[in-house]
C-alpha cells in the first residue's frame, strides 16, 4: 500500500482539494483508494458525503492522532492500494505520525507571501521526517508572475516543486459543492487536465 499525505503549515492552501482530487485520480485509474481525514474540521469527510449515491464511492475515514495507526492498518488489511491522508494545518502529533508512514508528502503552497513564509519550516520538517516530498503550487491565479518567484523560493529552501501547477479555477470550488472531483464535473476543463498531470507526476514518484 502506498501512502500519500497532504500537509503544510498554512490553512486554506489547498491540502484537502489536492487530497480529494488525487483520491479520485487513483480511483479513476482502477486502484482501491482510501482517504483518511485527520482534520477535526472534517472537510474531506463532509465533501465526500455530498456525493450522489450513484457516483463511485470515495471512502473517507475520519481519524485522530490516537486512532491513526489503527486506521492505516485497517486500510492495509482492506486491500487499499493508495491511501491518501489529509492533514490539518500546523504540525501536530497526528501529523508527525502520518508523515512517518507516508511514502510521499505533498505540500501545497499558494504563491502568496503568508504561505511562502512557512516554506523554511516545512522544509525543515520534511528533512527531519526524511521522506520524499513534493511541493505543489496551488491556487495559482491566471497571468500571475508570482508563481515563478514562488517556485524559485520553494526550491531555494530545498523543496522539490511539482512541474504541474494547480490554478485558481472556479471548477475546483464549484465541483466540491456536489462532492465531485473536477474530473467528474468538467472532465475536459483545465482543472481536470491539471489534476491528471499532477496525478501522473505523483504516480511516477510512487513507483
Ligand atoms: N485550485 C483552486 N482553485 C479554486 N479554489 C480552490 C483551489 N484550491 C482550493 N480552493 C478553495 O479554497 C478553499 C480552501 O481549500 P482547501 O480546503 O483545499 O484548503 P486546505 O489547505 O485543506 O484548508 P485547511 O487548512 O482549512 O484544511 C476551499 O474553499 C476550496 O474550494
Ligand atoms: Mg483541509
Higher pLDDT, 93 or 37: 37
Ligand nearest, relative to CA of residue 177: 1
pLDDT bin (cut points 50, 70, 90) of residue 170 is very high
Residues with CB under 6 A from ligand 1: 11-17, 39, 41, 43, 88-89, 138-139, 166, 168-169, 172-173, 176
2-206 CATH choice from 3.40.50.300, 2.40.50.1070, 3.30.70.1530, 1.10.357.10 = 3.40.50.300
pLDDT bin (cut points 50, 70, 90) of residue 97 is low
Average pLDDT over residues 112-136: 92
Percent of the chain with pLDDT over 70: 96
Residue ranges of domains in the chain: 2-206
Which of the listed residues 14, 165, 180 should we mutate to test ligand 1's pocket, taking the one with most ligand atoms within 8 A of CB?
14
Percent of the chain with pLDDT over 90: 83
Question: What residues contact residue 80 under an 8 Å CB cut-off, 6+ apart?
Answer: 1, 32, 33, 34
Rounded to the nearest 5°, which phi and psi values hold at 115?
Answer: -65, -45
Would you say residue 93 has pLDDT above 60?
no
pLDDT bin (cut points 50, 70, 90) of residue 77 is very high
Would you say residue 31 has pLDDT above 70?
yes
Amino acid at each position: 500500500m502506498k501512502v500519500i499525505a497532504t500537509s503544510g503549515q498554512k490553512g486554506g492552501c489547498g491540502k484537502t482539494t489536492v487530497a480529494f482530487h488525487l483520491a479520485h485520480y487513483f480511483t479513476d485509474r482502477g486502484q482501491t483508494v482510501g482517504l483518511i481525514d485527520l482534520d477535526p474540521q472534517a472537510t474531506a469527510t463532509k465533501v465526500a458525503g455530498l456525493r450522489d449515491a450513484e457516483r463511485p464511492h470515495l471512502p473517507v475515514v475520519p481519524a485522530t492522532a490516537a486512532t491513526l495507526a489503527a486506521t492505516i492498518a485497517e486500510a492495509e488489511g482492506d486491500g487499499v492500494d493508495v491511501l491518501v491522508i489529509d492533514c490539518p494545518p500546523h504540525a501536530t502529533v497526528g501529523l508527525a505520525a502520518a508523515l512517518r508512514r507516508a511514502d510521499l508528502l505533498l505540500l501545497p503552497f499558494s504563491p502568496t507571501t503568508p504561505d511562502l513564509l512557512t516554506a523554511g519550516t516545512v522544509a525543515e520538517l520534511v528533512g527531519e521526517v526524511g521522506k520524499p516530498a513534493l511541493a505543489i503550487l496551488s491556487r495559482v491565479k491566471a497571468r500571475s508572475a508570482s508563481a515563478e518567484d514562488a517556485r524559485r523560493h520553494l526550491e531555494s529552501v530545498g523543496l522539490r516543486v511539482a512541474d504541474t501547477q494547480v490554478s485558481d479555477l472556479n471548477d475546483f470550488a464549484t465541483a466540491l459543492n456536489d462532492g465531485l472531483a473536477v474530473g467528474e464535473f468538467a472532465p475536459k476543463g483545465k482543472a481536470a487536465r491539471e489534476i491528471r498531470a499532477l496525478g501522473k507526476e505523483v504516480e511516477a514518484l510512487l513507483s
